[in-house]
Amino acid sequence: MDSKINVTYITLDGYVEINKYKYLYFMIMFTCYILIICCNSTIVCLICIHQNLHEPMYIFIAALLINSVLYSTALYPKFLIDFLSEKQIITYPACLFQWFIYYSLGGSEFLLLSAMAYDRYVSICKPLQYPTIMRTKTINILLLLAWLLPACLVAVQTVLNANKKLCNFTLKGIACNSSVYKLHCVSSPVLNIYGLVLFVKAVIFPLIFVLFTYSRIFIISYRSCREVRKKAAQTCLPHLMVILNFSCLSAYDILLLRMETNFPKTVRFIMTLQLVIYHPLINPIIYGLKMKEIYKHLKRLF
């Protein structure tokens, strides 16, 4: 097999036995994809249409749901093709592109959740300064940073991966994630260090920031009146549920897959499906049911 990047094919070895029920799997995945698009797009449209939802908190929710649509659209078409194919393969350039989208949008998710946490912190802890701090310019800067910063950081790592020689052409997974490193002939200390720095910047720092801001919010809410505590619970708990859910799934993908432990194929398959089905589908459900203003508009719509 030619090791040149433009002709190299990678076998995706993460699929369980699908030939017997491939049409059933295809219909399940296709249905999930349509549900993800419809559920996320409905809430985004509601936020765009209704003037009372043109607030920073709802704008960040819309950005998060758009992120889920982009994430799913980058992965699902390939999954659907694979379920109907006899052999599950992908070219190395396409694999790197999928890897880039996978991690840049994953990093954006954490940064968007951090921006939402900051918005809630200012709203509850500094209500008088809120209109001054959370201006349109500030929101635009936060959104641009959330999407551009991870994309630029992951792009550098993608270029470094593209220049690596491959000795293994079987990927233990159904998507090109951190398992790509195991395709390389020689482990690169530069790539490992850069990956660790990227992980700290895109995941650990935002996560620490979110936990810090929410701890401050709950401390101040506990000392305040009942109305403040109610507001904090209504707006902060959905965000916490989303970030804890995404953090647990990301921990498996980023850390466990890079360990030498050989997980059963079924376990890897189920965990990857959790990331690509459960998270993009649970976000609009949480925000649609738990955010009072969005729930009102959804009730009127249906």
Q: What was the pLDDT predicted at 259?
A: 61
Other CB atoms within 10 A of residue 12 CB: 22
Q: What was the pLDDT predicted at 257?
A: 55
Q: What was the pLDDT predicted at 219?
A: 84
Give this prediction's pTM: 0.87
Q: Tell which CATH architecture fits domain 17-301.
A: Up-down Bundle (1.20)
Report percent pLDDT > 90 for the chain: 25
145-171 pLDDT per residue, tens: 999 999 999 998 888 888 888 888 888
